Amino acid sequence: MSTVDYLGALGAGSGIDTQLVVNSIVDAERAPQQQSLDRIKEKADLRLSAFGVVKGTLEAVRDQFRKLNDVSELKSFTSQSSDSTLLTASATSSAQSGVYAISVTQLAERDSFTFDGFDSETDSLNGGSPLTITVTQGGTSTNLTVNSPTLSNIVETINDSGLGIVANIIDSGQPTGRYVLSVSGETGSDNAFQISSAVMTGETRQTTAQNASLEVNGVAISNSSNSISSALAGVTLDLKGTFASETITVSSDTSAIKDEIKNLVSVYNDAREIFNSLRSGSDEDDSLAGSMASDSVFRTVESRFRSAFTSASSTPSGDITYWADMGLSLQRDGSLSLNEDRLDVVLATSLDDVITALTADTENQTDIGDANRGLAGDMSATIRDLVKSNGPIENAMASARDNQSDYEVRLAALDDRMARIKDRYLQQFAAMQRIVDSMNSTSQFLTNNLEAMQNND
């Protein structure tokens, strides 16, 4: 605020910069109120930003817990063949560990035929008249009509018939009969077929439809395909040749669950560092550091997040009830540590108990409702309650937004009030200026008269 010597100015009868004086007075009156509003706005901005960080952090942790709450994401198997050139296998989460003896006496095959070659793919056939192709499957005949018969149109008609047979043109490169028509069906004896037409001559059978014949642990199996998923639960066998005896070994694969638990420790500890910074951090370059030190909602959220991790599973199994039973424990500073040796032991000896305790033996879990969810599902549901639309975090953020809106309203009211005060001061100083001007005029009049009287003497 500018310093003005009001008394000296008035006493000397000098002019006053009314605008400067009024602005200085109004600014002085406005300053403490503006500062108070600015503090409210800054606090609301910081709180909104800080809880945005809290929400994003918890959602990242929740995503990691959700990678541990479905059986299929944790229960996996590997399969190994004694000779992968003859037999391979793949296993899903529903498989069972074991060694399985396989023998194959016959591979599945399909009906396939070739016919005399054609000199052109596009020349008109059958004298240009519509051509009938007859396909017989399982004693039932179907007639296909080719209205403008050419070799290309025959192939297109067969492939569009939906009968499960495929036609191709093979370019033999021969000077005559260069383009050979090849027709094949699907594997398996039930997919046998016959095909004929007036222009399809010189039929030659290349292969005959038949089922694969094999034994699994001495049990005879017949299958229409060389890919067999019905013999062993959760295991698909892919036959590549015939053989007297080979083995498939199916084993539990705990690497995936171990990796996800290790990732959980990392994500959890990252979250703790962020919360620690918000609560007690000190960083001149980070306005959010320490901004939540006295925020009661933040303390509640942090406490619920931490205490939930020490709760028992809603579906304990065997010796697995707590995260600590798998080697995870909270340290005094709130960080999470992992005893990998302990985890390796329980995964090797109690994998099914671990999966039950984590997932409640469920798939595609929802966080809504009161169902038992296991350790991972329970934590995911707890975090959902914290970040949901009517949860404590969103309510705190809504309160901060309300304070931001209130700031704008109160700032506008302050602007209006200061404008009225300024007008009043301007009017008062204008009246004062008129009085001063009148006094100056009177003073000048008296001075002139006194000088005139002295001159007359």
Percent of the chain with pLDDT over 70: 92
Task: Summarize pLDDT for 215-241 with one digit per residue, the tens.
Answer: 999 999 999 999 999 999 999 999 999
Rounded distance, CA 24 to CA 73, Å? 70
Give me the residues paired with residue 146 across strands: 131
What digits encode the pLDDT tens for the residues 286-342?
888 888 888 899 999 999 999 888 999 999 999 999 999 999 999 988 899 999 999
CB 48 within 8 A of CB 397: yes
Q: What's the pLDDT score for residue 80?
A: 95
User: Given a cut of 50, is residue 4 above it in pLDDT?
Assistant: no
137 touches 192 (CB < 8 A): yes
Tokens describing residue 289: 């550091």
When pLDDT is cut at 50, 70 and 90, the band that residue 29 belongs to is confident
Q: Which residue has the tokens 């984590």?
A: 358
The token pair that represents 335 in the structure block: 């960080």
Give 77's DSSP letter: E
Confidence of residue 190 (pLDDT cuts 50, 70, 90): very high
Least confident of 139-143, 265-269, 384-388, 420-424: 420-424
Least confident range from 142-151, 181-190, 247-256: namely: 247-256
How far apart CA 433 and CA 439 sit, in angstroms, is: 10
Cβ atoms within 10 A of the Cβ of 426, count? 16
Cα dihedral sign for 275, 278, 281, 285? Answer: positive
In total, the chain counts a number of residues equal to 457
Single-letter amino acid code for the residue at 255: S
- Cα end-to-end span (Å), the chain: 52
- pLDDT on residue 43: 82
For 137, 262, 318, 340, the CA distances from 353, given in Å and listed in that order, are: 52, 19, 6, 17
Query: From the DSSP assignment, how many helices (H) and strands (E) are in the chain?
Result: 10, 17
Band of residue 15 on the pLDDT scale cut at 50, 70, 90: low
- At 193 the pLDDT is 98
The single residue listed with the structure tokens 């001061």 is 425
- Identify whether the C-beta of residue 354 lies closer than 8 Å to the C-beta of residue 346: yes
Q: In what order do the strands lie in the sheet with 166-171?
A: 166-171, 179-187, 110-114, 204-207
| C-alpha span between 414 and 31 (Å, rounded) | 11
Note whether 169 and 155 are within 8 A (CB).
Answer: yes
